[in-house]
C-alpha cells in the first residue's frame, strides 16, 4: 500500500470532507408528567454543544494528535461561528464553505436519567447550483493536493454531491481515500480505497444476507464491482469484517461492552483507521485498533471521541494473559470509570486456593450486591505468610485466571500484604463483603468503607466445603 510506505517516518496529514453539524445536548431531571399532555417535563440543568457529523470525525483524528483539516458547508449564522470556535479549541484547521441561504445543521438531544427523551433537527437541504458545486469541488481538490489521506464522511446532507471527482483526483496522486457511505447507491464511491458501511447500510445496497457465507460472497462481489482496495463492514456485536483485494477476509471480534450510546461510533471507526494509516500502520492492524476504539466510545453519552490514554489502556488490556486480571493502577482506572456511571462496586478478598463449590456460591451471592465484583487475591508470598510454606497449592497466576473466568467476577487484582486494607482504602467500594464467620469490626478496611458511605455485608458459606479439608483429603489419599 503506497500510503503505508510513505508514512513510515512521519505522520501524514488528513483531510476530512463531509456534512458538518452541531450536536447539542440539553440534560436535566424528570420528576413529573406535563399537565398539558402526557409527556415528561425535563428541568434542564446542563447544556453542551459538540462537533457532529464529519466534524466529529475530525475531532477524533485531532485527539490522536494527527494534523487534520475539515471542509464542509455551513451557513452564515451563529451556529457556524460556534462550529468554528469548537474546531479552534480542538486544533482542527477549517476550510468551511459558507452559504447565506443554508442554515448550519444542528441536532438537539434532550436527555434525562441517561435516556434520550427527544431529538430535534434543525436543517434544510442545500440548494447547490452547478456553479456552487463546481466551486466546492475545485476548493476540495486544492485541499487534497495539500494532504496525504482523504476521508469522506457522507451523512447524505448534500455536501458530497460529486464524490467521484474527489476520489479520482486523490487516487490519481496515489492518495488513500476512506469513505463512510450513505444511501442506496454506492456506485458514486467507485474507485475508493476503503468503504466502511455498517451491516444495514451494506444490505440496502447488496441485499439481505441469510448467513455469514452469503454476506462474505456479496461483500467480495461488491468490492470487485466498485473497484475498491478494501471493504470494511461494521457488524455491531459481531465486530468488523475486512475484505481486501487478493486477501482472505479477516473478522475482528467485538469486545463485550455495556453499550450506552452508539451515536458517532462510525465516526470513531473511520477516524481511527485514518489516523493509524497516517502513522504507517498496516490496514488490518488499523482496523483492529479501530474496533477497540469503537468499544470505548459506545460507553459514552452522545457523539464523542477516544483519547490516546484510553486507547493505550485498552490496547494494554489485550496484552495481559487474562483481560480481567488487573494491576492496582488499572483497577483504580476501571473503578473510577464505573463510579462516574453511578455503578455499584462490590469488593471481597481471600486466598482462593483450590477453588471449590463453596467459593463459587459465595462469589455469586456477592456479585448480586452491585454491578461489579472485585476479588482482591493474596499473592503467593502473602499466602505463605498466612498459611505456611506448603501453601498455596496453586500459584497466584493460576488462581487469578480461574477466578477471572467466573461470570460473577468483574475484576481480579493481587495484593502482597497480609491484609488488603491499603487497597480497600484506595478503591473505597460501595459494598465490602466477607464471610459470616467474621464480625464487622474484625474486617480489614471496613471502617474506611463505612466512613465513606458504603456498607459491609456478611455472607454465609456453604457447609462442608473448605480448602483445608480438601487438602487433607488429598494428602490422606496418597498415604
- Crossing angle (nearest 10°) for helices 308-318 and 328-340: 120
Q: The cell 479549541 sits on which residue?
A: 89
Q: How far is CA 427 from CA 94, 100, 400, 445, 457, in A?
A: 44, 55, 19, 10, 17
Tell me the HSE value of 148 on the side-chain side, using a 13 A CA sphere. Answer: 21
DSSP reduced 3-state for 458: strand
Q: What parts of the chain have a pLDDT lower than 70?
A: 1-10, 255-264, 299-304, 313, 316-323, 462-479
Query: Which active-site residues does the annotation give?
Result: 267
Please write the tens of the pLDDT for every residue from 84-117: 999 999 999 999 999 888 999 999 999 887 788 9
Tell me whether residue 200 is annotated as binding. Answer: yes
Q: The cell 447507491 sits on which residue?
A: 185
Please give the Cα distance from 63 to 90 (Å, whole number): 8
Please give the Cα distance from 42 to 27 (Å, whole number): 8
DSSP-derived letter for residue 145 is H
Could you tell me which of 424, 476, 478 has the C-alpha nearest to residue 452?
424
- pLDDT value for 317: 52
Q: What Rg do the C-alpha atoms of the chain give, in angstroms?
A: 27
Please write the tens of the pLDDT for every residue from 276-323: 999 999 999 999 888 888 878 776 665 567 777 777 767 765 444 345
Q: The cell 462442608 sits on which residue?
A: 464
Could you tell me which of 264, 273, 126, 113 has the C-alpha nearest to residue 195?
273
- pLDDT value for 161: 81
Tell me the HSE value of 153 on the side-chain side, using a 13 A CA sphere. Answer: 32
Contact 297, 326 (CB under 8 A): no
Tell me whether residue 201 is annotated as binding. Answer: yes
Q: Indicate if the alpha-carbon torsion angle 382, 383, 385, 389 is positive or negative.
A: negative
Tell me whether residue 199 is annotated as binding. Answer: yes
Structural domains for the chain: 14-20+53-102+125-319 (3.40.1190.20), 325-477 (3.40.50.620)
Contact 200, 235 (CB under 8 A): no
Amino acid at each position: 500500500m503506497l500510503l503505508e510506505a510513505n508514512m513510515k517516518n512521519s505522520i501524514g496529514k488528513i483531510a476530512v470532507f463531509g456534512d458538518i453539524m452541531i450536536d447539542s445536548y440539553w440534560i436535566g431531571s424528570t420528576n413529573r408528567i406535563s399537565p398539558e399532555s402526557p409527556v415528561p417535563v425535563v428541568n434542564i440543568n446542563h447544556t453542551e454543544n459538540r462537533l457532529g457529523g464529519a466534524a466529529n470525525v475530525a475531532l477524533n483524528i485531532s485527539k490522536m494528535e494527527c494534523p487534520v483539516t475539515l471542509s464542509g458547508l455551513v451557513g452564515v449564522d451563529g451556529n457556524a461561528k460556534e462550529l468554528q470556535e469548537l474546531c479552534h479549541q480542538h486544533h482542527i484547521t477549517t476550510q468551511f464553505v459558507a452559504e447565506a441561504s443554508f442554515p448550519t445543521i444542528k441536532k438537539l438531544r434532550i436527555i434525562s436519567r441517561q435516556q434520550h427523551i427527544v431529538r430535534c433537527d434543525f436543517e434544510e437541504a442545500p440548494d447547490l447550483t452547478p456553479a456552487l458545486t463546481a466551486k466546492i469541488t475545485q476548493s476540495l481538490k486544492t485541499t487534497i493536493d495539500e494532504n496525504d489521506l482523504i476521508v469522506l464522511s457522507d451523512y447524505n446532507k448534500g455536501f458530497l454531491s460529486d464524490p467521484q471527482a474527489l476520489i479520482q483526483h486523490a487516487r490519481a496522486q496515489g492518495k488513500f481515500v476512506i469513505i463512510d457511505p450513505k444511501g442506496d447507491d454506492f456506485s458514486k464511491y467507485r474507485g475508493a480505497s476503503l468503504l466502511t458501511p455498517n451491516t444495514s447500510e451494506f444490505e440496502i445496497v447488496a441485499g439481505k444476507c441469510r448467513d455469514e457465507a452469503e454476506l462474505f460472497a456479496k461483500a467480495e462481489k461488491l468490492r470487485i464491482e466498485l473497484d475498491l482496495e478494501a471493504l470494511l463492514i461494521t457488524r455491531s456485536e459481531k465486530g468488523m469484517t475486512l475484505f481486501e483485494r487478493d486477501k482472505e477476509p479477516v473478522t475482528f471480534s467485538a469486545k463485550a461492552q455495556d453499550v450506552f450510546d452508539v451515536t458517532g461510533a462510525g465516526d470513531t471507526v473511520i477516524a481511527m483507521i485514518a489516523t493509524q494509516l497516517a502513522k504507517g500502520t498496516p490496514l488490518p492492524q488499523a482496523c483492529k485498533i479501530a474496533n477497540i476504539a469503537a468499544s470505548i466510545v459506545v460507553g459514552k453519552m452522545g457523539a464523542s471521541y477516544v483519547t490516546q490514554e484510553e486507547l493505550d489502556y485498552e490496547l494494554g488490556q489485550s496484552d495481559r494473559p487474562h483481560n480481567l486480571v488487573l494491576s492496582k493502577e488499572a483497577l483504580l482506572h476501571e473503578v473510577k470509570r464505573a463510579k462516574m456511571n453511578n455503578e455499584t462496586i462490590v469488593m471481597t478478598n481471600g486466598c482462593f486456593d483450590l477453588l471449590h463449590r463453596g467459593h463459587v456460591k459465595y462469589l455469586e451471592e456477592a456479585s448480586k450486591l452491585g454491578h461489579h465484583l472485585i476479588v482482591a487475591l493474596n499473592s503467593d508470598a502473602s499466602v505463605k505468610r498466612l498459611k505456611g510454606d506448603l501453601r498455596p497449592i496453586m500459584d497466584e497466576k493460576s488462581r487469578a485466571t480461574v477466578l477471572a473466568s467466573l461470570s460473577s467476577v468483574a475484576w481480579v487484582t493481587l495484593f502482597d500484604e497480609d491484609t488488603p486494607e491499603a487497597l480497600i482504602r484506595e478503591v473505597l467500594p460501595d459494598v465490602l463483603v466477607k464471610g459470616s464467620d467474621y464480625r464487622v469490626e474484625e474486617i480489614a478496611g471496613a471502617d474506611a468503607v463505612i466512613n465513606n458511605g458504603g456498607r459491609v455485608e456478611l455472607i454465609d458459606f456453604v457447609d462442608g466445603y473448605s480448602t483445608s479439608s480438601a487438602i487433607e483429603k488429598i494428602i490422606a489419599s496418597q498415604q
